[in-house]
Amino acid sequence: MDNYFNAKLDFFRSLNKSDKKNKKAIINMDDVKGKEIAAIINNSVKLIKVGSNSENDYFIKEYNIKNNKIFITLVNKFNKKEYLLESLMHGEFNIINIAIAIATALELGININDIKKITIFILTAVLFTLGP
């Protein structure tokens, strides 16, 4: 696991040194290792924090797991928009994964309605592929 984390650190150190413009790092602040990564991000990179705490840039306001679905309310702290999301993914651990994926898409400028359409398409394709 240390090799995996060290590889992540190397990636973000490279991002810090990169000459590219509009660099962003989207980090899971609910994870101790995520906080370690956030600590090394320099001012040349826009740090976007995601997690359950309302101090994060995107935070999980609430979630519910019901009927094999995850329902999440994700809030963008800066524009105060709330995004209501539904996923067929299983497991509480996927809540932060979904939040990070949605925050990443939003930061890339993808409209929330398009994100929902893409998600439905991907899940349908996966279910079709894995189905009976």
- Cα(129)–Cα(24) distance, integer angstroms: 34
The predicted pLDDT at position 18 comes to 96
pLDDT per position as a tens digit, 15-33? 999 999 999 999 999 999 9
Q: What angle do CA 33, 95, 65 make, to 5 degrees?
A: 145
CA distance 27 to 47: 7
Average pLDDT on 69-83 reads: 94
pLDDT score of 9: 95
What is the per-residue pLDDT for 122? 58
What pLDDT does residue 81 have?
Answer: 95
